[in-house]
Each structure stands twice: as C-alpha cells, then as structure tokens.
C-alpha cells in the first residue's frame, strides 16, 4: 500500500515515459526519396504526450550560427525536462544540432530538426518501420570485412589540429576565456567551414554546448 502512495522521482517518471512512448512510425516515402521520412510533428506529439502523462515538461533553448560557405544555418538545441511536481529537478539534453537553408524557413527547419533529435535521444525512441527498422538485423559474421562505426566519430584534418581546438574550448572556465579561444582559432575555424564541414560541425557542437554551460554558470552567480 505504501508503494502506491510513493512519489516517483524524475528518472522514474522518465523511465515510464520511455516505455509509454515506445516508438514512432516513419511516414510513407515521397516521390524522389529513397527513405521513409521521420516527421517532426509525429515525434513531437508522441514525446510530448508521453512526458505530460508522466508529470514531465520539456523546454528548449537554441543557439544559431550562419555558415556562409555552405549557405546554411545551424541550430543547436538544449532541452530541459522538468519534473512538474518538483520544478527544481530537471534533466538536460544538449548538443543536438541540425542544419537549414539560408531562407525564411531555414532557421525554423533547423530548430525543428534539432528538437526532434533531442526528443529521440531523451526517450530512446525507436524509429523503424516493418522490414526497414533494422532491429531484427543479423549480426556481422565472424571475420566479416565490414567494420563497425564509432558512435561518436572523431573527424581530423591534415591542416588543423581539431582535437586541440576542442580541448581548449572544454578547458574554458569563463566566457572571457571562451571568447579568447574563439578568437585565437578564428582562421582555423574558417578553414574548416570551407574545407572540412564534418570537423567544423563537431567543434561547433562542443563550442555551443560549452557556451550554454558557461552562460548558465554566470546566471547562477
């Protein structure tokens, strides 16, 4: 009887929301597409309803960065999921990024995609459809020539020390230090934008996430 009256903590609520949300079915293929699209509205509806049903509420903040070299805008989503019964408790999902075109729809598109990826990460949503989800795929045969892909691949560059830039960003303790590092590597960053977008995106993701952390620290002081 006592267990029924016990309040769930935020992680127990999230666990229940994950179970309730389950999966999101992909939409039908559109002419010209070689894959089934995963619609933002479907993910948002499934995730939001599961969270609300379990006493959780999600908010998002975004960082935007225009990348002229590829005519795109990048949005980085930081999602906070609050316990409605105890708003002092929250779960942070950060570093989810997406790109959009440099037009009147691009920023909104990038924000929607980055929010979608945050929800997918938060609830571990399955996104497959029958015969295409990959969950029933057979493992690689022993001695298979196929190689596994790193969950978080490290993108290197012959002319720029990407790891050094990332390490210096992470070592910043203040916004002032962050700005100095950004200015120090300005030319290298511009080079990556033009010549190695994957490496640039990795640096940009880390920079965006770390800046949010520093901004939050300043706000709490």
Neighbours of 184 (CB within 10 A): 12
- For the segment 39-65, the average pLDDT, to the nearest whole number, is 92
Lowest mean pLDDT among 70-84, 102-116, 122-136: 122-136
Q: Do the Cβ atoms of 80 and 90 come closer than 8 Å?
A: yes
* pLDDT reported for residue 50: 96
> What domains are there in the chain, each with its CATH number?
8-128 (3.30.390), 156-221 (no CATH)
**pLDDT band for position 77 (50/70/90)?**
very high
pLDDT of 82 over the 50 cut: yes
Q: Supply the pLDDT for residue 149.
A: 37
Any idea which residue has 């996430």 for tokens? 209
pLDDT tens, position by position, 2-42: 454 478 999 999 999 999 998 877 766 666 555 566 778 88
Query: What is the reported pLDDT for 31?
Result: 60
- Identify the band that residue 132 occupies on the pLDDT scale cut at 50, 70 and 90: very low
* pLDDT surpasses 50 at 146: no
């Amino acid at each position: 009887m006592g267990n029924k009256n016990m309040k769930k903590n935020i992680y127990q609520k999230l666990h229940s929301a994950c179970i309730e949300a389950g999966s999101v079915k992909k939409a039908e293929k559109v002419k010209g597409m070689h894959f089934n699209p995963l619609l933002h509205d479907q993910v948002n509806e499934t995730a939001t309803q599961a969270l609300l049903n379990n006493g959780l509420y999600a908010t998002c903040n975004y960082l935007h960065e225009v990348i002229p070299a590829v005519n795109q805008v990048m949005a980085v989503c930081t999602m906070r999921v609050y316990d409605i019964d105890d708003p002092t408790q929250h779960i942070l999902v950060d570093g989810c990024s997406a790109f959009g075109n440099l037009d009147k729809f691009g920023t909104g598109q990038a924000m929607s995609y980055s929010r979608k990826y945050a929800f997918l990460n938060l609830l571990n949503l399955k996104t497959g459809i029958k015969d295409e989800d990959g969950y029933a795929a057979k493992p690689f045969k022993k001695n298979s020539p196929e190689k596994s892909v790193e969950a978080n691949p490290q993108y290197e560059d012959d002319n720029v020390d990407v790891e050094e830039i990332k390490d210096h960003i992470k070592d910043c303790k203040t916004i002032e230090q962050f700005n100095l590092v950004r200015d120090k590597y300005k030319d290298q960053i511009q080079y990556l934008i033009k010549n190695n977008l994957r490496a640039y995106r990795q640096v940009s993701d880390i920079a965006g996430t770390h800046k949010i952390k520093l901004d939050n620290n300043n706000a709490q002081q």
